[in-house]
Structure 1
C-alpha cells in the first residue's frame, strides 16, 4: 500500500474507530486513579482464537512486563476489545493518535484486542453483527476467561466505542462465563432507526464511509509469523467475498429501494435492543447529543435501568468521534475517560472495594445544550412533563409562523424540495461521524439560520422563563403532497435575541412510512413523545394526491434549555443532505413540494418532555 493511501486510511480509522486518548487530569470526585504497577508491557500478536465452527480469529495479547520487556508470570484480569477496524492498525501505526494501549496493562490488566470475523487478521467472511459474529463475541470472552490461558485469572471486562461498543452488548447478551462488566461508548440500539434509515430514508453520509473503512482495513497485510497462515491468498479472497457478498449487495439493495431499504429480520438480528434484556453485567455507557447513535444509547440505558442492572450513562455535547475519544468527558465531573474505565473495571472486574462509586457517579449525568451546565438524574425519563406547542398560521420567508400553547390560527405552508437543505448544518457534521469538525468546517455551520431559509419555520415568542427538556420529541405534522410521498426533515432549535439559530436536534420521516405502532411508541402524560413506525414493505402506504394525513416525526432525544429571551423553533425541510437521500424508486416523489396544514381540523404540533421549573 502506498504511503499516502496508508496515511488516509489511518486518519479514517482514527475518526471512526475512536479509541480513547490519554488524559491525566484528576477526577473531581474524592476517588483518585491509582498509578502504574508495572514498568512495561509485552505483546504477542495474532494469537489464534478458534471458534466453535472451526474458523480461527486472531487477537493481540498485551501483558504486564518487567523493565526489560519480558512478560511477567501470573494471572491477571482481562480487558477485551473486538474490532472490525484491524487491530494491527489500531495497536500499531494509529496507536499514537488514539491513545496509549498500555494504560490498563501497566495497572495490572491483560489487554486482548481481537479482529472480528472476516476483518483484519481473522478468518472467515465479514457480515457485521450477524448471528454468527455475535456468537463469536461470547466465545471470545470465554476463550479469554478460560483457565487454559496462563495469563488470565478468569475475570473479563470489555471496552471500546461504536462497533466495539455494540460488540460488547452482543457479547454480554450471550452471558459468557467470566464476563464481569462492560463499558460501551456510543453503541446503537436499533440499527435501522438509529443510523441506517432514520425515518425510513437511506443514510448516504455515514454508512458507505463505514463499509468502505472496514473493507479497506481488511486489505492491510496481517503480521503473521513465518509460515502462518499457510495461504495468505485465502484471507484476501475472503475479504473480496465479504465485499461482494455483504457490503455491495446491501448498498445496492438499499439504494434501489429493495429489501435492505425496509426494516425486517436482517436489521433485527443486528440490533442490540432485541437482546438487551439478556444483559446482566454492570454497564457504563457514554453517549453524545450530536452522535450517530444519539437515539440508541439512551434506549439501552433505559432498558438496563428498568431491569435493575447497575448502569450509568454520561450524555454529553459530542459528535461520534468526540464521544468515542472521550473528548471533554472530564467536564462532567467524574474524571477522564480512562480514569472512569479504570474505576469501573477495578471495582467490577478486579474486585476492589469502592463504597463511594454510586455516591460519586449518579446513574445519569447529562449536559444541557444552551447553558453548558451538567446535571444529574436517576433515569432518562423521570421528572419530565409533556409540553405541546401548536404550529400556527403560515410560514413565509420573511415572516415565520408561530408556535403557541393553544388557539392556533389556520394556515397552509408549502415546503419546496431544495436538494441542498442540510448541507451546512450540525446535521452534516453529525452524520459524517464528526469528520468536518476535525478540520474546523463544523464550526462554520453551527448557525442554522441560513439552512432554515430553505423550508418552513415556526417559533414561539421569546420565553420569559427557561424552557428545559430532556428526552425524545415528537412532531406531529398534518401534511399533503401531490405525489403521495416524500420525506420531511425537522429540526428543533433555539433562536437567540440576535438571530443565531442553535440546532438542538432533528428528526426525519418518509410520508409513506407514517404507520404508527402505538404498542411500541413512547408516551408521556398521554402525549406521544417517541413514535415507533414499522418501516416494513407491508406497512408502507402512499398518500392519495392531495390527501391530508398526520405524520409523526421522531425527533431524536436531547438535553437542552431555551434560555430567557430566546425562542423555541421548529424548521421543516424536504431534504437533509449529506445525511439522507431518497431511494431511486422514491426519487420522483422527492421532487415535489410538501404542504403543512395548521387548521383546527388538521392541527400540527410539537411535543417536548420538559423539566418543571425548579427541578
Structure 2
C-alpha cells in the first residue's frame, strides 16, 4: 500500500506513459484476466520507452549513522540528466559489490522502460561503511533495507512505489526486508531464495554442507571487499568504509559456532516471520537449485494470504542458470525469460498498468521439456501414493516383513561431488551417472514402467532403520533408470539420525525436523525417520524405472561429523566424526519403510 503525498499525480503521469507502451506492445488486457487455455507469457522485454539512462552514485545514511554506497540509474532522454517525471523504483541490495561482481539486475533494461534502478552495497561490503560482524542476513541488515525502501519511496522523482528484485542473496534479502513492512514497498520478486538458512543452506537435514560451506562461507565477504565507490566526492567516505570492512571477522565463524538450529538462524531465516509479508510476491526458482524446496515453502505460506497475489515460476535450471559454464551437461529448450515476466509483474504493481495476468503457478516439466500451468502447488491433479519398499523393490503392495543391511562407507557419494549446492557457490552442477554408486548402501526399484509416470510435488521417505553406531547420516536419492541401465539423478534428501525429532507443522507429505537438539541412537534399536526429498516436476518415460538409493555418506558434499568450533581461539576447535556402523532397514509388516510419491493424474504429455 502506498502512503506517499503526491502519489496520485505520479500515478497519472505513469499511466499516460503506460497507455503508450501498451499500444506499442499490443498488450492491453483487463487486470486480473485469467485464460482457460495455457497462457503465453512474454518471451521478450517490453519496448523501451526512454532512449537513454543517467546514473548517480551517492551515500544513503542509516539511522545508526552508517552510510551505504548506492548507484541510482534513472530514465533519461539524453543520457546527461534524469528524465522529468515521477517513476517507480526497483531496489537491489548486494553483498558482492555493486561496482564488482554485483549479481544485480540490468540498469539499462529497467531504466529505459521507466523504472529507477537503485543498487546498494550491503553494510560492510563494496562502497558501504560498517563491517560484516554478525551482519549477513541479520536484523540490522533488514532494518537497513527498510530505510532504503523509504528513502527511495519519498524522493521527489518517486511515484511512491518501490519494488525489489534479484536472486540468491538479493532474493533472500527481499523476504527479510518485506517482513519489516516498509510503507512504500509495493511488490517483491525473489529469485532462488531459501526459507531456512540452516536447513536449506548451511546444514541441510542437520548435516554440514561441507563442499558448499567451504566454498561459500570461506570466501563470502571477499567479493564485497572489492568494488569501491568510483565517484570522487565519495572518497572520504569510501576510505572509512574500507577501514571498517577490514576490522570485521570472517562470517564463517558465526555459522561454525552454531552447528544446530537456534536463534542465530531463526532471526536470519525468512520463514520465521513470513506472516508479516503483506505485498504481492513473485517467487522464481529452478529445479536444479539447492534452494528450490525452501523457496516453494515460502510460496506455500504466502499464497494463503487473501487478496494478495502470490505467483510461482520454477524452471529447469541451477542456481546460476542452464548450460555452460555452471550446467555443462544440460541446456533444456524453451526456458522462460523470467526478466520479462518480472517486468510485467512490476508494471502492474509499481506502475499501475493494466497488463495480462501471469499464471499463478508455472512449472517446467522435466524430461517432457515444457511448462505446465496450474492453480496451486502441488497441482490439484496430484495424488500422493504410498509405495512400499521390499527386497530391492518399490511397489504399491505391502511386502512381507524383512530387512537388509549395509556398512556405512566413507567412499559413498563421490558421484555427486558437483551437486546443486555447489552452483550456489562457484562450482558447476555435473550429475554423474549413479551407476558408480551401485556398491554403496541399498537400492530399490519399481518394475519397468508400462506407461509414463509424472511426479509433481514433494517426495517423502518414511524410513524405519537401526544402526550399530550412536549416530549416522541418511542420504536418499531418487533416480531415473533408463533401459540401458544408466541412472540419472532426479531429487535428493538427507537427515542426521540424532536430529530426527519432528517440528511443529511437519506432515507425512512434507516432513520437517527441529534440528535443534541431538538425541543419540541406542545401537540396534529401530527408529522412525521422516526424510524430505526435494520437490520436483519430472516425467519418467515408459520403459524406465524409478530407483531409491539409501547411503550414509555423501562426500565431499556433507561433513561426516560435527565441528566444535571456537571462534575466539580457532586453533582449539575440534572435530567429532561419525563412526562406521552397520545400518539396517526394515520393510514390510505393520511399520516398514515406504516412499510417498506425488503422482500426477493429468493425462497431458
* TM-score normalised by length of structure 2: 0.84
Residue of 553, 557, 576 corresponding to 2:554: 576
Offset of residue 536 of structure 1: 0.9
Residue of 39, 42, 48 corresponding to 1:36: 48
CA distance in 2: counterparts of 1:192 and 1:90, whole angstroms: 25
Q: Does 1:129 align with 2:137?
A: yes
Residue of 406, 411, 419 corresponding to 2:402: 411
Report what 1:284 is aligned to. 282
Structure 1 counterpart SS, 2:476: strand
Superposed CA deviations along residues 544-585 of structure 1, whole A, max 9, x for unmatched, are 111111121111111112222211110011112232112247
Report what 1:336 is aligned to. 337
Residue of 589, 595, 600 corresponding to 1:600: 589
Cα distance change of structure 1 residues 243 and 420 upon mapping to structure 2, 3 Å threshold: farther
Offset of residue 330 of structure 1: 8.6
**RMSD, aligned CA:** 2.8
Residue of 83, 100, 124 corresponding to 1:89: 100
CA distance in 2: counterparts of 1:107 and 1:388, whole angstroms: 50
Could you tell me whether the CA contact under 8 Å between 1:208 and 1:251 is conserved in 2? Answer: no
CA distance in 2: counterparts of 1:71 and 1:328, whole angstroms: 40
CA distance in 1: counterparts of 2:284 and 2:41, whole angstroms: 18
Structure 2 counterpart SS, 1:117: coil
CA distance in 2: counterparts of 1:322 and 1:209, whole angstroms: 19
Report what 1:7 is aligned to. none
Cα distance change of structure 1 residues 282 and 613 upon mapping to structure 2, 3 Å threshold: closer
CA distance in 1: counterparts of 2:423 and 2:151, whole angstroms: 33
Could you tell me whether the CA contact under 8 Å between 1:391 and 1:404 is conserved in 2? Answer: yes
Structure 1 counterpart SS, 2:221: helix
Report what 1:542 is aligned to. 520
CA distance in 2: counterparts of 1:106 and 1:183, whole angstroms: 20
Cα distance change of structure 1 residues 106 and 482 upon mapping to structure 2, 3 Å threshold: same
More displaced, 407-416 or 170-179? Answer: 407-416
Residue of 220, 228, 241 corresponding to 1:222: 228
1:122-521 equivalences in 2 (<5 Å): 122-126=128-132, 127-146=135-154, 149-220=155-226, 222-226=228-232, 228=234, 230=236, 234-244=240-250, 247-253=251-257, 260-308=258-306, 309-322=308-321, 331=334, 336-354=337-355, 356-357=356-357, 361-381=358-378, 382-393=380-391, 401-425=392-416, 428-433=418-423, 442-443=429-430, 445-517=431-503, 519-521=504-506
CA distance in 1: counterparts of 2:51 and 2:452, whole angstroms: 52
Cα distance change of structure 1 residues 217 and 436 upon mapping to structure 2, 3 Å threshold: closer
Structure 2 counterpart SS, 1:608: strand
Superposed CA deviations along residues 259-313 of structure 1, whole A, max 9, x for unmatched, are x111111111111112221112111111111112021111111111111321111
Offset of residue 408 of structure 1: 1.5
Superposed CA deviations along residues 78-136 of structure 1, whole A, max 9, x for unmatched, are 11101111111146xx8xxx774311111111110001121111112221111111111
CA distance in 2: counterparts of 1:558 and 1:59, whole angstroms: 38
Report what 1:20 is aligned to. none
Contiguous gaps of at least 5 residues in structure 2 = 1-24, 28-38, 565-574
Offset of residue 404 of structure 1: 1.8
CA distance in 1: counterparts of 2:401 and 2:187, whole angstroms: 55
Contiguous gaps of at least 5 residues in structure 1 = 1-23, 254-259, 394-400, 523-527
Offset of residue 479 of structure 1: 1.3
Offset of residue 212 of structure 1: 3.8
CA distance in 2: counterparts of 1:80 and 1:202, whole angstroms: 32
1:54-69 equivalences in 2 (<5 Å): 54-69=65-80
Superposed CA deviations along residues 204-234 of structure 1, whole A, max 9, x for unmatched, are 2223322344311232251254464536554
* TM-score normalised by length of structure 1: 0.83
More displaced, 553-562 or 500-509? Answer: 553-562
CA distance in 2: counterparts of 1:329 and 1:365, whole angstroms: 16
More displaced, 598-607 or 51-60? Answer: 598-607
Cα distance change of structure 1 residues 268 and 436 upon mapping to structure 2, 3 Å threshold: closer
For these two proteins, the number of residue pairs brought into alignment is: 549
Could you tell me whether the CA contact under 8 Å between 1:386 and 1:609 is conserved in 2? Answer: yes
